[in-house]
Amino acid sequence: MKIITKYTLKEFIPYFFLSLFCFTFILLLNDIFKWTKLFVQKGVSVWYLIELLIYVLPSTLVVTIPMATLVGLLLVFARLSADNEITAMKASGIGIHQLLPPILLVAICLSIFDFLFMDFALPRGNIAYSRLIRDIRTRHPALILTPGVADDLDQEGRKWMFESKDEKTGRLRNVKIWDEYQDGKPRFIEANEAEVDFSSLLARLKLYDGFTYEAVVKENPRYYQVINFKEMQVTLDISDTLQRSEYNSQNPLNMSLADLSRYMKGIRKQYSEKKEHYLKYRLLRAEVEYQKKFAIPFACFALSLIGVPLGIVVRRSGKMVGAGIGLGVIIIYYVLLQIGQTTGFRGIILAPAAIWMPNALIGISGVILIIRTVREAPVRPHRWLVKLFPITGGETDSESYRENS
């Protein structure tokens, strides 16, 4: 039995890491394309891109580890079944139920690892990601300023834009600033060139060769004066833009389990003193994130319950069909998780029930399939499912299905 166990686990490991790499790469692909395009256009160092991907990796891995567990088990047992190795094991007196304990033990170990990774690496990665984004935007204002787009970078309501950037000098060309709220007098500034310097939470613009159009009287803006200047400096407060990334560090998603517990305790205390709606929303959101820290890692175990019997049912249909079925189960799981998260945020369903619902449904379905597989009861899919995925259980099951249909 030890030989069979080692053999099964040896087959599982390559499939698991291959699936983990593929799923992680697919989920990171959008970020890779987005940041690569932006960095190439703005001329920012590629090392920032690599560092950003490292920081975003933990939030991706906590999701792809359960995915890889399911697909890895599906592919392993589909291959064992297709090569009649499952039949040979049965002939030797080794049942499916004897293979389950070591597989489920591995799934539990993966769940524990995913939990620790989610509690330790995920918050630190997200916070480091937000801080790096802030640093990049501070050092490279081109990531905030988009050519041809008017940006609200000022808390006083001022807007500004530039048409292009000189790659050699780094100066902005054809800069326009709309200032309609200073002293109640509308003002419009236009400059041929400008240099931008970010310091702390302020952006200083040095404008060159331009005109200022400013209303003379507040009551009648049609009367205005035009001032020609060679050099002019304008200061814009961009603290709101840059502090968005700092705010992310206070997000429950970016907290460890201990920090989140203290955060929830504080919110409950505030909510007991004053029944404010925003406090209730923050508490519901924190409770949902708290449950997710346990439910998502536990998905490794829940998905393994359904992965083993589904892999055996696939049999001669091939690895691609097994991977397709695994992808379908993953989509169902995360759609249910998203529904549970939404209902939990709104308080429609209690957070534990909402977040643990996908694990419960997938796990119960897996237990039912395991019982039927151990008893060798035929699993007959619906007619349309057979057309899409020709899942057969041998000649006896196929004949039985055709007779019953």
pLDDT in tens, 144-189: 556 666 665 454 566 777 788 777 777 888 888 877 655 556 778 8
Candidate from 64-73, 131-140, 146-155, 345-354 with smallest mean pLDDT: 146-155
Q: Residue for token digits 């166990």?
A: 5
pLDDT tops 70 at residue 115: yes
Q: Which of 124-128, 198-202, 248-252 has the highest mean pLDDT?
A: 124-128
Domain boundaries, the chain: 2-137+253-394, 146-237
- The band of 211, judged by pLDDT with boundaries at 50, 70 and 90, is confident
Q: Please, is 1 exposed, middle or buried when counting C-beta atoms within 10 Å of its C-beta (0-12, 13-18, 19+)?
A: exposed
Candidate from 152-156, 245-249, 320-324 with smallest mean pLDDT: 245-249
pLDDT tops 80 at residue 216: no
| Angle, alpha carbons 351-359-126 (nearest 5°) | 65
pLDDT tops 90 at residue 354: yes
Q: Residue for token digits 């517990």?
A: 261
**pLDDT, tens digit (0-9, with 9 covering 90-100), for 12-28:** 999 999 999 999 999 99
Of 208, 157, 144, the C-alpha closest to 183 is: 157
Pairing of strands 224-237, 159-161: unpaired
Alpha-carbon span 401 to 126, nearest angstrom: 51
- The band of 403, judged by pLDDT with boundaries at 50, 70 and 90, is very low
| pTM, two decimal places | 0.69
